[in-house]
């Protein structure tokens, strides 16, 4: 009778990582427990290598327990993906964190696939192949990337996860995934190709959403719209305006009149108090939105680099915003 479950062993820099899988996964987990593997909060089983003799004994026990439980044991030929992800995170500028995503079932892969921005190679990989593990890379500012290993050749592919719709509704073409043979090259391609495309796509999506909300507010007559929808649209615009103004100041030599305009809009929109519920402040911000919003959008759109240019990643284009207030988080907004 062929085993209904399998244990795949991955060699990490200071431990052995085991991934149980298959319809009889509980038997595989039992074998790992009997052998002395430790299960962490992510349900990843590990065996420390600080005591080599003890580790060898545990592996011997694992193979014995696996035979008794009719579980197959295989060793993955490549380094543990978590180590690759950590190396990439350390090589990227800023403060990136890596997290391992165990893929025990095909539905785990499908969950990640559904959050990918690009429907290309990485999307197909998550749809068809049993990967074992994937890893996420997060910069703390809202940017999330997904790392996976391609079984066909052992190379690594990194793609962007779609930003949360609470931050921006993406409308721009997705940034393209990058493929590299090792962590060093992956970090370089992420920095020079993936992140600039990602930031440009987020910037264009912000512009589209800000323009759509402004047009809706301008043509809506008083009493014909829901107040909650209007406040949600204003909040989105103020959030996007924060990114537009910061980007314009950092990346564009501004004439004096434009610098004065940005100062006035920033003050009028009360961008330092995005979560301020004061009705008078919101009324003032709404007036500035309707009067000066179009010019701000035009300035931000004019400063958008062409697709062929890969500039340094401006901090102002982070997808993250301040936490959404209840009205913006729950309101459907003017989605027409």
Question: pLDDT band at 331, cuts 50/70/90?
Answer: very low
| Nearest C-alpha neighbor of 82 from the set 124, 133, 37 | 133
User: Are residues 40 and 50 in contact, defined by beta-carbon separation less than 8 angstroms?
Assistant: no
User: Are residues 245 and 237 in contact, defined by beta-carbon separation less than 8 angstroms?
Assistant: no
pLDDT at 179: 96
Bridge pairing between strands 5-11 and 144-149: unpaired
Helices 195-219 & 227-251, crossing angle to 10 degrees?
Answer: 140
The CA-atom distances, in angstroms, between 135 and each of 122, 160, 198, 232, 326 are 13, 12, 18, 34, 31
pLDDT at 276 over 60: yes
pLDDT at 147 over 80: yes
| Nearest C-alpha neighbor of 175 from the set 151, 153, 145 | 145
**Other C-beta atoms lying within 10 Å of the C-beta of residue 173:** 14
The residue with greater pLDDT, 15 or 276, is 15
| Nearest C-alpha neighbor of 311 from the set 222, 192, 214 | 192
- Specify the pTM: 0.83
pLDDT at 202: 95
| Nearest C-alpha neighbor of 297 from the set 217, 206, 229 | 206
Q: Encoding tokens for residue 40? A: 């962490």
* Residue pLDDT, tens place only, 203-255: 999 999 999 999 999 887 655 667 888 889 999 999 999 999 999 998 778 99
Bridge pairing between strands 45-48 and 156-160: unpaired
d(CA 174, CA 116): 9
pLDDT at 322: 29
Average pLDDT of the chain to the nearest whole number: 86
CB burial of residue 303 (10 Å; 0-12, 13-18, 19+)? middle
pLDDT at 274 over 70: yes
Question: pLDDT band at 303, cuts 50/70/90?
Answer: confident
Question: Which stretches of 150-255 are assigned E, i.e. beta strand?
Answer: 156-160, 178-180
**Mean pLDDT of the region 5-12:** 92
Collapsing DSSP states into helix, strand and coil, what is residue 334?
coil
**Mean pLDDT of the region 296-322:** 62
Burial 142-167 (b: 16+ CB within 10 A, else e): bbbbbbbbeeeeebbbbbbbbbbebb
Alpha-carbon Rg for the chain in angstroms: 25
């Amino acid at each position: 009778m062929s085993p209904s479950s399998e244990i795949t062993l991955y060699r990490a820099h200071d431990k052995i990582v085991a991934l149980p899988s298959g319809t009889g996964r509980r038997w595989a987990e039992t074998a790992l427990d009997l052998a002395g593997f430790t299960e962490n909060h992510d349900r990843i089983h590990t065996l420390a290598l600080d005591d080599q003799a003890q580790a060898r004994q545990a592996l011997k026990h694992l193979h014995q327990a696996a035979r008794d439980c009719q579980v197959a044991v295989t060793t993955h030929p490549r380094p543990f993906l978590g180590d690759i992800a950590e190396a990439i995170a350390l090589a990227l500028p800023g403060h990136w964190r890596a997290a391992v995503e165990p893929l025990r079932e095909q539905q785990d892969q499908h969950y990640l696939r559904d959050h990918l921005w690009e429907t290309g190679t990485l999307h197909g990989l998550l749809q068809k192949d049993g990967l074992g593990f994937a890893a996420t890379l997060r910069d703390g500012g809202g940017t999330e990337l997904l790392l996976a290993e391609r079984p066909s050749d052992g190379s690594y592919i990194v793609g962007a996860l779609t930003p949360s719709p609470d931050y921006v509704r993406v409308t721009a073409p997705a940034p393209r995934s990058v493929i590299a043979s090792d962590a060093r090259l992956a970090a370089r391609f992420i920095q020079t190709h993936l992140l600039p495309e990602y930031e440009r796509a987020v910037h264009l999506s912000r512009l589209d959403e800000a323009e759509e909300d402004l047009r809706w507010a301008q043509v809506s007559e008083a009493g014909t719209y829901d107040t909650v929808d209007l406040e949600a649209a204003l909040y989105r615009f103020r959030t996007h305006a924060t990114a537009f103004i910061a980007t314009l100041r950092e990346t564009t030599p501004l004439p004096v009149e434009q610098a004065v305009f940005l100062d006035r809009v920033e003050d009028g929109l009360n961008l330092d108090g995005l979560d301020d519920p004061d009705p008078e402040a919101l009324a003032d911000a709404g007036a500035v939105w309707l009067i000066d919003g179009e010019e701000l959008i035009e300035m931000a759109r004019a400063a958008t680099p062409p697709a062929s240019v890969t500039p340094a990643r401006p901090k102002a284009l982070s997808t993250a915003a301040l936490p959404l207030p209840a009205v913006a988080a729950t309101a459907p907004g003017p989605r027409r």
